[in-house]
């Protein structure tokens, strides 16, 4: 059975707090893009810790992504037919957009040439982050071209609460890691993390989290 780890709101808050200084020192984001739904709460908490006196709050934009994880349906065809092989191969690797940026020139001009921090709760197979980084880079470069600016002027960074130490299916640009623009508050094993915002009974969730700590 997959091991479950219960994380409380208090712990999420403190993970964001503990990471804020590194994010400010290494990246200095102008804007955050939260990947919904798991990135919303961390991005909002982080915003309080990134606020500097005299400066406005860092704006947060939202995108919605979900992994396509439908299992291939059993059929009369043999288990090794190409169609099924393809389904298995693509299982959990196709990302669906449920919400995206406003691609109007006015909105996109807010991103061009800026430091944009992509926020999600967990980096598991990295499929979602690969998609987000690639697609956002593409859209921002297109917007830059329309503004007569060169591509690559916008810097993307990533912040996640948890990075699972496992082999990753998705890839992020190597210089994002070498330049310290990939930041995880905590490294964990390949466990299933239960976040507080998913709980239907938060008292029970907190009780299980406390029990785990004993
Ligand atoms: P990835 O694309 O990195 O495989 O997975 C990203 C998404 O899968 C996350 O944004 C999250 O929604 C979901 N996910 C992956 N691992 C976990 C986990 O341990 N706990 C929860 N609650 N969601 C997870």
Ligand 1 atom closest to the CA of 194, numbered from 1: 22
Pocket test for ligand 1, best of 4, 34, 124 (most atoms within 8 A of CB): 124
Determine the pLDDT at residue 1.
76
pLDDT, tens digit, for every residue of 27-83? 999 999 999 999 999 999 999 999 999 999 999 999 999 987 655 555 444 444 455
Ligand 1 atom closest to the CA of 191, numbered from 1: 19
Can you read off the two tokens belonging to residue 10?
Answer: 């208090």
Q: Which region holds residue 30: left if phi is over 0, alpha if psi is between -120 and 50, else beta? A: alpha
Any idea what the Cα angle at residue 28 is, between residues 167 and 123, rounded to 5°? Answer: 20
Binding-site residues, ligand 1, Cβ < 6 A: 38, 67, 120-128, 192-193, 195, 198
Can you read off the two tokens belonging to residue 149?
Answer: 């600016």
Q: Are 96 and 65 in contact (CB under 8 A)?
A: yes
Any idea what the Cα angle at residue 52 is, between residues 179 and 116, rounded to 5°? Answer: 40
Residue whose Cα lies nearest atom 11 of ligand 1: it is 122
Burial class (CB in 10 A: 0-12, 13-18, 19+), 49: middle
The list of the chain residues with pLDDT below 70 reads: 69-92
CA dist 37 and 52 (Å) reads 26
Q: Which residues are catalytic?
A: 124
CA dist 31 and 91 (Å) reads 32
Task: Parse the chain into domains and list their residue ranges.
Answer: 10-186
Determine the pLDDT at residue 81.
44
Domain 10-186 has CATH 3.40.50.2000: no
Give the predicted TM-score (pTM) of the model.
0.90
Phi, psi of 122 (to 5 degrees): -145, 140
Can you read off the two tokens belonging to residue 41?
Answer: 């709460």
């Amino acid at each position: 059975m997959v091991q479950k780890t219960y994380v409380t709101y208090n712990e999420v808050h403190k993970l964001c707090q503990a990471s804020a200084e590194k994010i400010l020192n290494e990246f200095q984001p102008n804007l955050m893009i939260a990947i919904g739904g798991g990135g919303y709460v961390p991005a909002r908490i982080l915003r309080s810790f990134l606020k500097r006196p005299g400066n406005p709050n860092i704006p947060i934009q939202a995108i919605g992504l979900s992994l396509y994880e439908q299992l291939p349906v059993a059929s009369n065809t043999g288990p090794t037919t190409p169609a099924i092989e393809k389904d298995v191969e693509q299982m959990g690797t196709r990302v669906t957009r449920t919400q995206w940026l406003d691609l109007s020139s006015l909105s996109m001009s807010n991103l061009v040439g800026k430091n944009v921090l992509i926020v999600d709760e967990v980096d598991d197979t990295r499929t979602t982050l690969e998609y987000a980084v690639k697609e956002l880079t593409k859209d921002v470069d297109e917007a830059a071209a329309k503004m007569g600016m060169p591509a690559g002027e916008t810097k993307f960074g990533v912040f996640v609460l948890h990075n699972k130490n496992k082999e990753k299916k998705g890839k992020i640009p190597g210089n994002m890691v070498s330049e310290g623009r990939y930041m995880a508050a905590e490294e964990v094993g390949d466990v299933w993390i239960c976040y507080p915002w998913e709980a239907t009974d938060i008292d029970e969730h907190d009780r299980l989290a406390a029990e785990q700590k004993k």
